[in-house]
Amino acid sequence: MIRFENVGLRYGMGPEILSDISFDIPPRSFQFLSGPSGAGKTTLLRLLFLSLKPTRGLITAFGRDRARLAPRDLPAIRRRIGVVFQDFRLLDHMTTYENVALPLRVRGREEASYRSDVVELLKWVGLGDRMHVLPPVLSGGEKQRAAIARALIEQPEILLADEPTGNVDPPLARRLLRLFIELNKLGTAVVIATHDLGLMEQVDARRMILSNSRLEVYD
């Protein structure tokens, strides 16, 4: 669904942060993206989400060349890619339900058309009894699950998760991992950026390791 061919990225005249990156994200696949802190995992996720343009190389998303996409084409393609940000990015003045429903509200959907979907999704991530509270009341793990629900509300074909277990304890990390595995079994491709080796050892999945601006892929 997304393919990188000899992709490189640098900021300004500095050295390349990513060099000759080549891989693809097949439909229904599950992979971990790992590497030392500062290796460029978040940058690579931003390239996958099409919020950055590469300095060189080819990125193809759902059959479209990233370099040929007009700004007006990007929103429709990005709706096919869900993102769970490391810092949650929940709006504190909105309830859990309202945060999850926000992408649909922004698109002008009537609440009656999506209310049941939001409620069912919140129940699926274990927040059925927390949907009417504000984010400051939620624990870190609850905020993470709310962020996952928001990323899934538009039923993306790919989910990108940036250090989704970085702020939770090991039992909750395992619970979140089970959510991602279940989501993948339902047909969504999953990319989890993490430095947690213990988490990766729990799943037999492809590993993509960033180091020294290069990417090694181990199927």
- What is the per-residue pLDDT across 159-213, written as a single tens digit (0 to 9) for each? 999 998 877 788 888 888 999 999 999 999 999 999 888 889 999 999 999 999 9
- What is the per-residue pLDDT across 46-56, written as a single tens digit (0 to 9) for each? 999 999 999 99
Instruction: State the Cα angle at 82 between 77 and 87, rounded to 5°.
Output: 130
Residue 17: Cβ-neighbour burial (10 angstroms; 0-12, 13-18, 19+): middle
pTM reported for the whole predicted model: 0.92
Tokens, residue 32: 């971990």
Write out the DSSP string of 153-184: TT--SEEEEESTTTTS-HHHHHHHHHHHHHHH
Instruction: State the Cα torsion 162-164-165-168 to the nearest 10°.
Output: 120
- Cβ atoms of 180 and 130 closer than 8 Å: no
